[in-house]
């Protein structure tokens, strides 16, 4: 770190490619407890994102993230579009007018994204959603930030993965999956999974810097 605006666009391109590579997996997870379209919708959304931001390397990071959020809201169906869209728009507010993102900014971005998702989705940890991946990741990165970004990121990612896998053990309380009640136990939440893919993509890129 710091991550420049051009590098931010590279990270977002990696997110698109990794979501696209996991499209069938995410859709398979969603077919068990949802509408069977999570991977398809997110791939479509991030493809539209790349078409919008590809030439925004001369813009500030806040404008890029705001464009990502607005594009996801308008192109991704179901609950994922508004939730991820709000997360990216809130993230953009953290780095408005900034031409690069440092480690402290990144933590604030994660916090703003989580706050946006919780406000928009009225979700809390333990309800089998994106929050179960994102909130533990943030808690861990904050606890370990004084140990250096590499250690903090690696521990944060482990916490995110643990949170994602924990969604197999709990009952869904939000969205279509909640209609299944106890039958949702045993299924990993697709939103928690896509959130982990996004966090891992970002961490992998930052760890190489």
* The pLDDT of residue 113: 98
Arithmetic mean of pLDDT, 124-142 = 96
> Domain holding 21: CATH number?
1.25.40.340
pLDDT at 209: 67
* Number of domain units in the chain: 1
- The boundaries of the domain holding residue 15 are 3-208
* Percent of the chain topping pLDDT 90: 83
Please report, for residues 98, 129, 151, the alpha-carbon distance to residue 4 in angstroms, rounded to integers and kept in the order given. 9, 31, 22
Give the helix ranges, DSSP H, for 145-189. 149-166
CB 96 within 8 A of CB 60: yes
Assess whether pLDDT exceeds 80 at residue 86: yes
Return d(Cα 2, Cα 7) in angstroms, integer: 9
What is the 3-state composition of the chain as percent helix, strand, coil, each rounded to the nearest 5?
A: 75, 0, 25
- Residue 203 to residue 11: CA distance in whole angstroms: 10
Q: What value does the mean pLDDT take over residues 60-65?
A: 98
pLDDT number for residue 32: 86
Gap between the Cα atoms of 132 and 130, Å rounded: 5
State mean pLDDT over 94-107.
Answer: 96
């Amino acid at each position: 770190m710091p991550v420049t605006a051009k590098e931010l666009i590279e990270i977002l391109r990696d997110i698109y490619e990794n979501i696209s590579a996991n499209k069938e997996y995410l859709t398979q997870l969603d077919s068990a407890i949802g509408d069977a379209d999570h991977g398809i919708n997110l791939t479509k959304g991030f493809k539209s994102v790349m078409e919008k931001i590809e030439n925004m390397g001369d813009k500030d990071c806040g404008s890029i993230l705001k464009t990502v959020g607005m594009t996801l809201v308008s192109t991704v169906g179901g609950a994922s579009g508004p939730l991820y869209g709000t997360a990216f728009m809130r993230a953009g507010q953290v780095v408005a007018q900034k031409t690069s993102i440092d480690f402290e900014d990144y933590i604030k971005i994660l916090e703003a994204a989580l706050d946006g998702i919780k406000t928009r989705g009225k979700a809390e940890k333990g309800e089998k959603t994106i929050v179960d991946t994102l909130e533990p990741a943030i808690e861990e990165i904050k606890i370990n930030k004084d140990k250096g970004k590499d250690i903090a990121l690696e521990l944060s990612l482990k916490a995110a993965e643990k949170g994602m896998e924990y969604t197999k053990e709990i009952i869904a309380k939000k969205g279509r999956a909640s209609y299944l009640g106890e039958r949702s136990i045993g299924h990993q939440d697709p939103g928690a999974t896509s959130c982990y893919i996004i966090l891992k993509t970002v961490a992998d890129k930052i760890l190489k810097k």
